[in-house]
Every structure is written in structure tokens, then in C-alpha cells.
Amino acid sequence: MLRAVHGWIGRHRVAVLLAWAVLIAAALPLALTQSDHLTGGGFQVPGSQSEKVEHEIQSSVPLDYRPATLGAVLVAPKGTPLRDYRAALAALGRAARATPHVALDPQISEAALFFARTKPGQPNVVALTLDADEFHAPDVAKELRKQLGLADGRQYGQVQLHLVGAGALWAGMVDLTKDDLGGAERIGFPIVALILLAMFGSLAAAVLPLAIGGVAVLITSAVIALLARHFTMSFYVPNMASMIGIGVAVDYSLFVVVRFREELRDGATLAAARATAMATSGVAVLFSGAGVVIALAGLLLVPTPAIRSMAVGAMVVVIVAMLACALLLPALLAVLGARIGPAKAESTLFRRWSARVTARPGVSLVAVLIVLLALAAPVLGAKTGDGALRQFPKDNETRVGFNAARSVRGPGDGTPLKILVRARDLDRAVVLLRADPDVVKTGVRTRTDDKRWIFLVVRARFDADQPQAKALVARLRKQLPKGSLVGGNGAAQLDFNHAITGSIWKIALWTLVATFVLLLLMLRALPLALQAVAANVLSVAASFGILTAVQVWGKDDGYIDTVTIPIILAVVFGLSMDYEVFLLSRIRERRDAGLDTRTAVLEGIATSGRTITGAALVMVAVFACFALTGVPVIAELGLGAAVAIAIDATLVRLVLVPAAMTLLGERCWWLPRLPARARGERPVAPGR
């Protein structure tokens, strides 16, 4: 089937390339706008207390009684003329009028001018009236930032204007991650090009994987832009999609190109080499990509729009990479043909290494298990946390503005807790709140329009993303009269954390079972499928262990960001399966040709060693670029994935797999036969 499809592509290569060219041309303008509709929100948990509180406030609390959760801060040195403050406030007013759901009260603007006259040189905090809930505040702040030109560093004389509040922090993250993405791609593509050129020694061969990677990322960016216009798509999506897309697209096309060159080296014609490459490595790519998509699908079990959008973005880029390898790469191979050149002579390094491992499989297996478990051990001391502020560099304008506002108002001012209590419980609730040492101020705002609740606003002693603020939320939810609801930004973060931790076991179970079934279908061998899943678990555990050592050890406030836990679990599990699938498919191919298990292992490692090593270098380089240039969440994902790939391509592929398969011998290929009735066969009567 695949041979016929790729034969057709080879015969109609020009038409296929023209079709892809049209698709790329259509995708380009959309890709350039992918950040326009991304959101800094999407972290709400449907049905949670924080969501219920926000819904009740939006529907039943008049706007004048809602606390200010979005504002601006004017920062200027002492002696700044009043006209600069007027210019900044006028610009803020114009931007507010041009932005839906936000307004600047003229009286507040006048009060800000009075403050500037009486307290020159002090940061001047200006409250904005917001009629959107906590979860949509980042989108309002994002548009307001655009109107004010904050990302361009615009000033008004000596006055620097910043937006503050939880929504402003997440809106600032949209610009920050956009800059990080551009930096990582500018660094990553040249590094990948150098690795490919050194590996192939041929410019034509090196360009093909890069072209497939670029096409996959470009088309995915266009798809993200379209999806973001109709669905919630987090600002993290482009970084995650680009990081995974460059790696898998280059790796998948690399596997095919290498097999094509090997066939040319062995004397095959161009058409035969292309057909064999697609029927062997091409099939392995499809199974490997399916495994990554299945693992990423586990993130859909997390009940938050932001995480689900990240899963969708990553799944889309893997699917596009698979399609490009299956439908575009054969046409490019047909056009470039002999210019790609045959592969170099097979290296004996990996054959000698695998011979040593398989000569003493028991010792090798025990040794590698000890190393992997030692690398995983630090995960026992892992700590998790979250927060937007720490994601910003210290000199970033968003962080500078937030710190300036906090120096005047104190922590917790812009992220109050919002509490709903029954009228009969009001006195008891107020007494309890005022007695709590972490509560700075408690205010009764109003009765809701539906008369069901009394609305209270509580200012905590800590910012919403600090552990003490979340502990306060948890404590109040236990202590307040039954039926009371605690919301606000700190409560939303706590609900989000609970949604993450409550979903991890589901993601793990889904990933283990689904990938096991896929591997069983591909390898047609139960022990091999079990061994592959177990190896992946060890790779993931080791990567978490190293990530813990880097992020937590020796740091008083070190932690792994909560949002990265399920993402690393799904991404790393999916990607770490790539090289094992490719290796085991090579071994299976040799076994089907009649070789015994040990010889098939030796041949599989010898023929795939250079390819997998080069592919792993590419993937590690890509993830390392994001680990070094991205915000902490993306950096943690990049580091965890880079470590897992390195472990999988070395300890797992070169030691664990050959040692385990040698010990199992011919039992590797055991597959239980279904009973005749389950297979749909009619039982044969005795004596016939």
C-alpha cells in the first residue's frame, strides 16, 4: 500500500510539490499572525470554587462594588514635570477607550495628578475599571498593552508606564514568550544545520530534514492562528509546538533520508531506494509519530483550557511532521535523486559496543538499571510551585512595574480574595477572617443582586502566587461557614494546581496503556512491547530526577513549575519512544529476514547507531536552545526533554535494550494466540 502511494508521488512529483507550495504560501500570512489571538488566560478549572465565584460576581455584583484587579503604575524620578504625568495619563485614557471591558475614571486620573504633585518621585498606582472576570483579564490587558506600546518601551517624557495586576502579568508573558520563541528558533536552526551537515557531508541531504522541519512549524503556526480565533489557545502553545515540531520533523525525515542513502550505497536504483526507505523507515516514523500523538493526547485529561490547547498545538505539529515526511519528503527525494548521494560505509563502533554488551547481558542490565535509578532518585525530593512573576527577567518592564506598585501598596493589593457567604453567616465569617494572621484587610462590599450572597473582599499579606496565599485559601475553605465560596486569583491558582495533581495519574495510566497497545501492534511481540514501555518509564523518571537536581537542590525557593509536570510526562514519554521504535523496527526487520535474536540485535544497533546518534544530537540541541532561552516553564520542559532524549539514545538504546533482548533470546518475539472462538474461527470437531 505505502509502496504504491509513494510510487505515485514519485511519478507525480511536480504536482505534489506545487500542491505543497500552494499550501505553504497560504499558511505564511496566517503564521505571521499566530500570536494575535493567543491568550494569557485559560487556566480556569470548570466547576471549581474560583470559577463559581467569578460567575456570581459577573452576574450579580454591580461594577462599582468589584475590586480593582487591573491597573497602571506611573514610575518617574523626583522632579519630573507634571506635563509628563498628564501625557502618560492621557495615553492611558485613550488606550482604555480603545479597549473593550476597561475604563479609566476621570476622577481617578485627577487623583493620580494630585498624588504626583504631593509625593513626587513615588510610584503612582492608577486603578482601572474592569468589567471582565479574572480569567479574561489577561486578554483585556494584552490589548491594552498593544494600545500603549509597552513592548516597545514607549515613555512619556520621564514617565514610564506599566500595567499591574494578575491579568497584566499574564498579558506580559505573551510578549515575553514571543521574543523567546524567535530567539530559540534563530539559534536552533543554524545548530541543527551544522549537525546535519557534519553527519551527512552533503548539503542536499542536510537541507531535506531542515526543509521538512521548517514546513512543519510554518503550517502548524498557521493552524494555531486559525484555532486561536475560535478557541482558547495559550501563549505557551507556539513555543511548545515549535520546540517539538523542529525536533520531530527533522528526526523523522532524517531516518528516511538515511535509509534512502543506505539503499543507494547497497546498489539500489533511485526508485527502489525511495520505495524501500518509505516502506521501512517511513512506516517506523508513522508508528513513532502516532505514539507521540497518543502520549500528548493524555494532556486532554487535564480539565483546563490552557493545558488542553498546549496538547492540541503539540499534537498538530507532530501530525503535520508525519504528513510532510509521508507526502512531501518522497517528492523531494524523487527530485533531488542522486544529488543526495549514498551513505558512508557502516561504522564498526556500534557493532563492537553492542557485541560487548550482549556478551555479558546480565551485568550490563544490572549496571544500567543502577545508573537509571540513581539518576531518578532526586525526584523523591521534588517540590512544585507556580507563579507568573518569576517567569520574567528582573529587568523586564512588566516585572519592574509590578515591583514598583508593590513598593507603594504592599503585596496582595492587586490580587484580593473574593468571598461569598450567606447573610446568616456574615458575622461569623468576618470574625474568623479578621482573626487570621495572614489577612490584612476585610471589607464587606455588597449583597448580590439575587440576594443569595454577601460579597466580601479580603486582602492577604502575600501575593496570590506565593505558597502562603494558597495556604490561606485552603485554610479559609475549611474554616468558613459551610457553603461559603472562596475565589480570586490565589484561589484560581490553587484550583488549577489541584486539577493538575489530580490528573497526573490519569495521564500516566493513559500513556502507559495506549503506547503499550501501539507498540504491541507494531512489534507483534508482547515482551518487547513491555520492555519498551518499562524503558520509557525509566527515561522519564531519570529526566525528572535530573530536573529536580537542577531546579530544587541547593535553592531555598527552588521548585519545578506545576504546569510542567504533566507536560513533561506526556512529551518526554512520547519522544523517548522514538529511538526505541526505530531501533526495534530495524531489529524486527533483521529477525524477519531469518537471523537469530542476538545477531538481529547486533545488526540492528550497527545499522541504526549512527542515525539515532545524529537524530538524538539534533533533538537535544533543539531542546537545549529552548532550555537556555525560554521562560522557566519552557526552559524546564526543554531541559527535561533534552535529558530524556540523551538518556534514551545512550543508556537505553545502547545498553538496556540489547542486554534485555539478549537475556530473553527467542522469547522476545512471543505473542499469545487468541482462542479460536475469539479469532472468529469455527472449532473443529474431534476426529475430523
Which distant-in-sequence residues (6+ apart) come within 8 Å of 77 by Cβ? 121, 158
Is the same domain home to 205 and 351? yes
**How far is 564 from 125, CA to CA, in rounded Å?**
33
Q: What is the pLDDT of residue 312?
A: 95
Residue pLDDT, tens place only, 80-106: 899 999 999 999 999 999 999 999 999
| Three cell numbers, residue 213 | 522541519
- What percent of the chain has a predicted confidence (pLDDT) above 90? 39
Q: Does residue 472 lie in a domain region?
A: yes
> Are 85 and 132 members of one domain?
yes
pLDDT value of position 683? 45
The pLDDT value given to residue 685: 42
Question: Of 437, 464, 494, at which residue does a domain stop?
Answer: 494
Looking at the fold, whether 93 and 212 belong to one and the same domain comes out as no
| Residue 1, pLDDT score | 60
Q: How confident is the model at residue 121 (pLDDT cuts 50, 70, 90)?
A: confident
Of 131, 164, 197, the domain-final residue: 164
Question: pLDDT category, 477, cuts 50, 70, 90?
Answer: very high
Instruction: Report the range of poorest mean pLDDT among 43-52, 322-331, 425-434, 671-680.
Output: 671-680
Supply the mean pLDDT for the chain: 87
DSSP 8-state code for residue 234: B
pLDDT score, position 675: 54
Cα separation, 584 vs 607, whole angstroms:
12
Q: How far apart are the first and last CA of the chain?
A: 39
pLDDT in tens, 6-31: 677 878 888 999 999 999 999 999 99
In this predicted model, what pLDDT tens digit does every residue of 252-294 receive, in sequence order?
988 888 888 888 888 888 888 888 888 888 888 888 898 899 9
Q: Please, which residues have CB within 8 angstroms of residue 628's CB and are 6 or more apart in sequence?
A: 635, 638
Q: Which three cell numbers stand for residue 652?
A: 537505553
Last residue of a domain, one of 164, 187, 206: 164
Output the pLDDT for position 377. Answer: 94
Do residues 221 and 317 both lie within one domain?
Answer: yes
Residues 154 and 196 in one domain: no
At 684 the pLDDT is: 43
Q: How far, in Å, CA of 434 to CA of 442, rounded?
A: 7
Question: Domain check: are 488 and 504 in the same one?
Answer: no
pLDDT digits (tens, 9 = 90+) for 366-409: 999 999 999 999 998 888 887 777 788 888 888 898 889 888 88
In a domain, 53, yes or no: no
pTM: 0.88
| Domain annotation covers residue 59 | no
**674 is a domain residue:** no
Q: Which domain holds residue 85?
A: 70-164
pLDDT of residue 630: 67
Q: Which of 74, 97, 316 is nearest to 217 (CA)?
A: 316
Q: What is the pLDDT of residue 687?
A: 41
Mean pLDDT of 534-561: 87
Query: Given pLDDT bands bounded at 50, 70 and 90, which one contains residue 48?
Result: very high
- My answer on whether 353 and 372 are in the same domain is yes
Using the predicted structure, report yes or no on whether residue 674 has a pLDDT greater than 60: no
- pLDDT of 672 reads 83
Higher pLDDT, 24 or 150: 24
Say if residue 111 is in the same domain as residue 211. Answer: no
Task: Kindly state whether residue 46 falls inside one of the protein's structural domains.
Answer: no
Domain at 315, CATH number:
1.20.1640.10
* Bridge pairing between strands 384-385 and 454-460: unpaired
Helix (H, G, I), strand (E, B) or coil at 441: strand
Q: Are residues 453 and 378 in the same domain?
A: no
558 and 530 both lie in a single domain = yes
Q: What are phi and psi of 442, to 5 degrees?
A: -125, 130
Q: How many Å apart are CA 261 and CA 36, to the nearest integer?
A: 43
Residue 614 is predicted with a pLDDT of: 85
Q: Do 373 and 512 reside in the same domain of the chain? A: yes
- Report which of residues 389 and 447 the model is more confident about: 447
Grid coordinates in use for 300? 486532554
Task: Assign residue 487 the CATH number of its domain.
Answer: 3.30.70
- In this predicted structure, the answer to whether residue 251 has a pLDDT above a threshold of 60 is yes
Q: What is the 3-state secondary structure (H, E, C) of 511-580?
A: HHHHHHHHHHHHHCCHHHHHHHHHHHHHHHHHHHHHHHHHHCCCCCCCCEECCHHHHHHHHHHHHHHHHH
Within-domain flag for 676: no
Same domain, 312 and 352: yes
For residue 303, the one-letter residue type is: P
Is residue 427 included in any domain, yes or no?
A: yes
Number of domains the chain is built from? 3
